[in-house]
Amino acid sequence: MTTTTGPNTTGLTRRTLLTSTAGLAVVGTLGAPAIVRAQSDVIRVGHLTPRTGFLGPLGEYAVMGVTLAVEEINAAGGVLGRKVELLAEDSVNPSTAATKAERMIEREKVAAILGEISSASGLSIAQVAGRNKTLFIQTGCNSDELRGKSCNRYMFHIEGSNTAYVKAVGQALLRDGMVKGKKWFGLTADYAFGHDLLRVTKKFAEDNGGSFVGSELVPTDASDFSPFILKIRQAKPDLVVSNLAGNQITNFIKQYNEYGLPFPIAGGGFDTAAAWGAGPDAFTGTWPCIWHHTVQSPSAQAFTQAFTKRWGKPPENQAWGDYLSAKVLAQAMAETKSTESDKIIAHLESQAKFDVLKGREGYFRNWDHQLIAEMYTITPKPKAEQKDKWDMLLLGTAVPGPNEDLETIQPTKQENACTFS
């Protein structure tokens, strides 16, 4: 299903013209120049993200975030005197994502594609974007591979890498004495993101004196975690490490709580929706966080208020990523006075600064196109301090600290070599 946001100056959508008998008659009457004029009145932007499956709950927040951003952009006058029209669809899986990206670029003539959460689907979209020389700003793919051997000049990353997530939470684990000499047990989502996160997590543990005593791959459609929890009980680790994704995290936390095991939990990847789904009685552990609605910057709080007013609940971190992608794209178009991908890419590679709704501005690194910005850690908030069902998480201080280089938690060139072809 396609969602369009923005005015239609002809009274007919392009899809209506192309798919109905009456529309074909209109095409013959109007002729190609009229259609070209209608297209130039708006800037079309594609949005792809999973709305079904184990990543579906995150995809819903992604759609809400990008929709709000486009509404705000258009309410402020659009970009370069033109309204933005959002074409938003369910990416479903890597093959479907590639097909839809191809259609958006070739038939719908989008200026850019935003979104995606699955690293596998993100890679397939990036390959299409690269072949067609069209900008793709991904908002939820963590795999280091997308910033490394599979990097692409036409792909930029709002979402943090697995390495950044692990290094961010790793600081808290080192502080709490949970690494050196400690035995870890890992549960890993059995797809590209999870495999990559497991690699990064094992490297961090080994580099800091820890070791894995067990590691299990979990199918993405698994809902019963009892076989894995029994293996954890038998292994008696010092720390249980989650390399899970989407509603896998929610289901695991709930069931782990029911078993009442004493071993602490930490995560390499995390989304706020997973904690909300688990609820305050079950949620536990130390987790990395790229953004949270309690971040105390003026722009973060303005976004939280606008989102809550529009959708009736606070924004999840995936909503932040997709909202930010549209705002970054609009700002880059305005500053370059262009919708051409190559001009926008050159501007982003100049390390132009953006308000990323955090304490410090962010920028894109020119050699791997990663957004460089603060991250955080998340722990359970004491129940006595919780104001409502959304107020169950305690946001840690920004990582890196205020006087530290923002790149200290990012992959280095040696860790994640990227060469744009």
The pLDDT tens digits for 378-393 are 999 999 999 999 999 9
pLDDT-derived band at 421, boundaries 50, 70, 90: confident
- Residue 253 Cα to chain centre, angstroms: 21
3-state secondary structure of 370: strand
Please answer whether residues 52 and 92 qualify as being in contact, where contact means their C-beta atoms are separated by less than 8 angstroms. Answer: yes
CA distance 402 to 394: 19
Cross-strand pairs, 89:
48
* Contact by Cβ (8 Å): 102, 128: yes
Q: Is 355 exposed, middle or buried (0-12, 13-18, 19+ CB in 10 A)?
A: middle
In the chain the first and final C-alpha atoms are separated, in Å, by: 34
**Distances 363 to 188, 300, 324, 398, 406 between C-alpha atoms, Å:** 31, 17, 12, 17, 10
Q: Which of 399, 382, 190, 140 is nearest to 288 (CA)?
A: 399
157-214 pLDDT, tens digit each: 999 999 999 999 999 999 999 999 999 999 999 998 999 999 999 999 999 999 999 9
Give the pLDDT score at 11.
33
Q: What would the DSSP string read from start to end of 101-143?
A: HHHHHHTS--SEEEE---HHHHHHHHHHHHHHT-EEEESS---
From the number of C-beta atoms within 10 Å of its C-beta (0-12, 13-18, 19+), residue 370 rates as buried
What are the structure tokens assigned to 156, written together?
A: 């930029």
pLDDT of residue 30: 34
pLDDT reported for residue 31: 38
CA distance 316 to 268: 18
Which helix (H) or strand (E) segment holds residue 395: the answer is strand 393-395
Cα 375 from Cα 287, distance rounded (Å): 11
Task: State pLDDT tens for residues 313-355.
Answer: 999 999 999 999 999 999 999 999 999 999 999 999 999 999 9
pLDDT class of 117 with cuts at 50, 70, 90 = very high
Give the mean model confidence (pLDDT) for residues 122-132: 98
Average pLDDT over the chain reads: 91
Model confidence pLDDT, tens digit, residues 289-303: 999 999 999 999 999
pLDDT 10s digits, 192-207:
899 999 999 999 999 9
The answer, yes or no, to whether residue 98 has pLDDT greater than 80, is yes
Domains identified in the chain and CATH numbers: 3-160+296-372 (3.40.50.2300), 163-289+375-409 (3.40.50.2300)
- 136: pLDDT strictly greater than 80: yes
Strands 376-380 and 287-289: antiparallel
Instruction: Specify the pTM.
Output: 0.89
The rounded distance, in Å, linking the Cα atoms of 346 and 383 is 48
Nearest residue to 115 (alpha-carbon basis) of 66, 163, 69: 66
Q: Residues in the chain, how many?
A: 421
Distance in angstroms (rounded) separating the CA atoms of residues 48 and 13: 19
Is the pLDDT confidence value at 361 over 80? Answer: yes
Q: Which residue has the higher pLDDT, 20 or 93?
A: 93
| 6-45 pLDDT per residue, tens | 433 333 333 332 333 333 233 333 334 444 444 579 999 9
3-state secondary structure of 76: coil
Q: Mean pLDDT across the stretch 108-131?
A: 97
Q: How far apart are CA 209 and CA 59, in angstroms?
A: 37
